Amino acid sequence: MIKKLTILLILVLLYSCSNEKTTVLKGKYSIGGFHMKPEYSMEKLRSLGVLNFGKTPFEFIDNKVYISPELGERFFGNTEFEYELTNDKLILYKKDKKIEMNYIDDGVFRLNIENKYLDRIDLSKFNR
């Protein structure tokens, strides 16, 4: 009986470990989509220049992320950060500044941002 329970426990552990998804950010990412705040229309966001992201606004190299000036200055207050990725948060660091954002990775990196115009931006790996 103990042998069967031990084997069952090992199988459960192996299954749960194999189903853990580890997100790795490396290379260039483009914005594949976004979710805007309900009080704004697409036309209003375009007129404000909010949707000018650049071609590949995010580039992750080692422990740093470089963000296009169009996106970085407007949404994050800078264009270069050190970053840390946990199981559910992307944390950006710049001197005394720390920005924590929740994310979901379902094949698209869905980043919940704190911004008065947008709730979320969806990052897709740029393959070129």
Kindly report, residue by residue over 65-116, the tens digit of the pLDDT.
999 888 888 889 999 999 999 999 999 999 989 999 999 999 899 999 978 8
pTM of the model: 0.75
pLDDT range class, residue 5, cuts 50, 70, 90: very low
Do the beta carbons of residue 122 and residue 104 sit within 8 Å?
no
Do the beta carbons of residue 127 and residue 30 sit within 8 Å?
no
Between CA 38 and CA 92 the distance in angstroms is 26
